[in-house]
Amino acid sequence: MLSGIIRESSSKKVAKDLRRSGYVLANIYAKGMENVHCAFKANEFIKFVRNKPSLKFSVSVDGKVYEVIIQEYQKDPVRGDILHVDLRALVKGEVSHFMVPVKTSGTPIGLRNKGVLVFSKRRLKVECAPENLPDAFVLDVTPLNVGDNFLVRDVVAPAGVEICVDGRVAVVGVIKAK
């Protein structure tokens, strides 16, 4: 579990000092909950997020445990360091919108016929309760030939999960290489 510290002040000076000390600034928020201004050790946060087993994970701040997802993050445009992270706390039973990643499995037939696998949507917007939230949509792209694609309506959503994207939108496909 990732553990962090509470930020006492949200001033620029305190933020700069924390960043120089190797921290990533974060906010934890949810509907009906007071915002928690906190900070995590940058190296620990990056290692944890890269190796997290699912979309949702637990963090401990000031002795309290929150079940969260990463809502948004800000990077330094020059160095690429993470400056700030927004973590949304999950409230059981509250239906909300989430962005779920799309992953592929298999090798398309079209790759042997001079095709290239192209993602049109890397993430799909879904509406569900946190307990029904899938970690990812895994698509088997083995039968795709040049000119074929998977549409949103072809993606199978688990029970209690509604995909909020038009069914005619392509998710992944194979196009002819130039």
Q: What is the domain-level CATH number for residue 157?
A: 2.170.120.20
Q: Are residues 134 and 85 in the same domain?
A: no
Cα dist from 38 to 2, 20, 45, 84, 153, whole Å: 12, 15, 12, 10, 40
How many Å apart are CA 83 and CA 39, to the nearest integer?
Answer: 10
Q: Are residues 14 and 85 in the same domain?
A: yes
Q: Are residues 72 and 102 in the same domain?
A: no
Q: Are residues 32 and 63 in the same domain?
A: yes
At which of 59, 89, 119 does a domain end? 89
At which of 89, 124, 143 does a domain end? 89
pLDDT tens digits for the chain (178 residues)?
899 999 988 889 999 999 999 999 999 999 889 999 999 999 999 999 999 888 999 999 999 999 999 999 999 999 998 999 999 999 998 999 999 999 999 999 999 989 999 999 999 999 999 999 999 999 999 999 999 999 999 999 999 999 999 999 999 999 998 7
User: Residue 103's beta-bridge partner residues?
Assistant: 138
Q: Are residues 157 and 111 in the same domain?
A: yes
- Please report, for the domain that includes residue 6, its CATH number: 2.40.240.10
Q: Are residues 158 and 119 in the same domain?
A: yes
At which of 89, 119, 145 does a domain end? 89
Tell whether pTM > 0.85.
no
How many Å apart are CA 27 and CA 13, to the nearest integer?
Answer: 17
Q: Are residues 9 and 77 in the same domain?
A: yes
Q: How many domains are there within the chain?
A: 2
**Domain span including residue 133:** 96-176
